[in-house]
Structure 1
Amino acid sequence: MAAKKVVVVFGATGVQGGSVVKAILGDPKMKADWAVRGVTRDVSKPSAKALEAQGAETIAADLNDAATLKNAVKGAYAVFAVTNYWESKSADVEMKQGKAMADAAKEAGVQHFVWSSLLNVTELSKGALPKVHHFDSKAKIEDYVRSTGIPATYFLPGFYMSNLPGGMFRQAPPNNDWTLGLPIPGTTPVPLLNTAGDTGKFVKGILLNREKTLGKRIYGATDYYTLNQMVDQFKELYPEAGKTAKTVELPHQVFKDILGKSGQPEEAGEELLQNMRLMNEFGYYGGANLDESHSVLVDKLTTWKEFMKSAPAFKDLK
């Protein structure tokens, strides 16, 4: 009997990595051929034990300590690599982490490196939006991965559906109307992703279609939805609560002030404003079509309506 292919999942206790573990180990056919090694800083914590309960091996490593990564990827066939810019709020730290994972994987002879990437907004916008650091740094890591020659595919997660219910889409004063308030027009298309539910579906498709996806970008979103469409579908699902639901285009400074009141520093407010402007002015994916990315999938993606039905913020609505 052939040995199982080992896929190492960085950030295995996080949203993206956790979704990858669940998708592989939740598929009996794939579980028969693949073994999952989840990387986390502390293998004794409950989230790591939960991975083991799913059937994953866990191993301790720290993205800020390159020496620990070698053991994590030893003997691996594939690697899913992801970083969290917001943990350090430093593009330099994120790029160092991403390069360290790529270097360790290259040295270990990994056959398929899947990098959770994003577009370079400064380049896409020709300098008009130069402060979306959490996109640009991931794009620069993608450039580095390509330069190493390691066989790789680039997964670009869409806009997190989880950012909306109870967050950007919430009851707002003075009348407590459900309001989707963002600093962009209601006609802006947004590529939505159920990150926890569907990241793993894309990565599973990438791993199962290695030859087809090597060197490619896979755009991780169910579909493009305009803000107006999101609210219209909310009204269909919850006619009573949705009677007065609406989109509101916030002035840029108002959006930044709201973020400031929630504890975000001024530079993060500007970064997130430019991130929103990206979708309206240049396209989150630069206008890319999703059809080719969807062609690698074997699982159905979560629609916005399906996600709303399970959103805690909407649980008491009728």
Structure 2
Amino acid sequence: MSTILAVFGAAGQQGSSIRAITRDVNSEKANALKGKNVEVVRGDVSGRASLETALTGAHTVFAVAVPTFGPDAKAMVEKYIRSLPFKSAFFVGSLFMENFHSHPFSAPQRAPDGNTWVLIRPNSSTTQLPLIDAVGDTGKFVGAILAEPGKYEGKTFCSATMLYSLEEVTAIMAKTTGKNVVFKQIPLDEFMASLPF
């Protein structure tokens, strides 16, 4: 029986595991995976032939659905997968801690004084968010599913490392960066207008 775990989005935050399927096998992240003795193969979800090649011999597939800001495509994908004649389980990561520094629109913005960084949200500073260290903690949840697939068949794992208030997030950012980071609540329409999408 095959023991290959095929991972879509392997060069991303959640997917760094085993047989890495990525559109660009020569990217910096793909090359780093090769250096860890991970088999890296080309696979593009828009090309059936590349997927058939990438998945040949795979026992398990970990497919990462990209975020969407419109109709919930992830829910449609889950519904479709549940209709197929094979075992499945679903991992739903909460908000990624990494997004605070990897997405400019999620990160604190430099104030006009040049010395202050402002985390702007439409929520109050006491609003608690479920956050997960996507790189450090995803494997713990997925590993539990893979260790006992029969037990978790058809189940959905909603995951978070912890609930953090925006006030706590701001304090952690200030402590870890050594910068003056403050929180500012703004109206929802103003926040939406500031987003790049």
Distance apart, 1:238 and its partner CA: 6.1
**Which of the numbers 204, 226, 246 marks the counterpart of 2:143?**
204
Q: Report the equivalent of 1:189.
A: 128
Contact 2:2 2:59 in 1 (8 A): no
Aligned residues of 2:99 and 2:107 also touching (Cα < 8 A): yes
Is 1:227 the counterpart of 2:171? The answer is no
* Distance in 1 separating the partners of 2:78 and 2:156: 10
Paired AA for residue 131 in structure 2? L
Contact kept, 8 Å, 1:168 with 1:182, in 2: the verdict is: no
User: Structure 1 residues 66, 150: closer, same or farther in 2, change over 3 A?
Assistant: same
Verify: 1:150 aligned to 2:148, yes or no.
Answer: no
- The yes-or-no answer on 1:177 pairing with 2:116 is yes
What is the SS of the residue equivalent to 2:20?
strand
Deviation at 1:188, TM superposition (A): 1.7
The corresponding residue for 1:163 is: 99
Preserved contact between residue 191 and residue 225 of structure 1 (Cα < 8 Å):
yes
Task: Mark the CA change 1:238 to 1:41 in structure 2 (over 3 Å): closer, same or farther.
Answer: closer
* Greater share of residues in helix: 1
Q: Structure 2 regions of 5+ residues with no counterpart?
A: none
Question: Normalized against structure 1, the TM-score is what?
Answer: 0.54
Aligned match for 1:133, one of 61, 66, 70: 70
Give ranges in structure 1 of 5+ residues lacking alignment: 22-35, 87-131, 269-318
Which residue, out of 52, 63, 83, partners 1:70?
Answer: 52
Q: Deviations over 1:98-119 (max 9, x none)?
A: xxxxxxxxxxxxxxxxxxxxxx
Deviations 1:15-56 (A, max 9, x none): 2212xx1xxxxxxxxxxxxxx221122334443232221111
Q: Which residue of structure 1 lines up, in the alignment, with residue 187 of structure 2? A: 251
More RCO (CA 8 Å, sep 6+) = 2
Cα separation, partners in 2 of 1:149 and 1:187, compared to 1, 3 Å: farther
- Please give the alpha-carbon distance, in whole angstroms, between the structure 1 residues aligned to 2:97 and 2:125: 16
TM-score, normalisation: structure 2: 0.84
Q: Which has the higher strand share?
A: 2
Structure 1 residues 238 and 12 mapped into 2: Cα distance closer, same or farther (>3 Å)? Answer: closer
What does residue 7 of structure 2 align with?
Answer: 9
Q: Secondary structure at the match of 2:15?
A: helix
Specify whether residues 173 and 253 from structure 1 end up closer, same or farther in structure 2 by C-alpha distance, changes over 3 A only: farther
Q: Is the 2:90–2:154 contact (alpha carbons within 8 Å) kept by the matching residues of 1?
A: yes
**Cα distance in structure 2, aligned partners of 1:168 and 1:52:** 31
**Kept in 2: contact 1:10–1:80 (CA 8 A):** yes
1:52 aligns with 2:34: yes
Q: Detail structure 1 runs of 4+ shifted over 6 Å in the superposition.
A: none
Whether the 8 Å CA contact 1:187–1:226 is kept in 2: the answer is yes
**Taking structure 1 as reference, are residues 71 and 178 closer, same or farther at Cα in structure 2, changes over 3 Å only?**
same
* Percentage of matched positions with identical amino acids: 34
Counterpart Cα distance in 2 of 1:172 and 1:82? 35
Letter of the structure 1 residue corresponding to residue 58 of structure 2? A
Q: 2: CA distance between counterparts of 1:211 and 1:199?
A: 20
| Structure 2 CA distance for partners of 1:257 and 1:50, relative to 1, 3 Å | same
Hey, what does 1:271 align to over in structure 2?
Answer: none
**SS of the residue aligned with 1:190?**
strand
* Amino acid aligned to 2:9: G
Secondary structure of 1:205's counterpart equals helix
C-alpha displacement at 1:60, in angstroms? 1.6
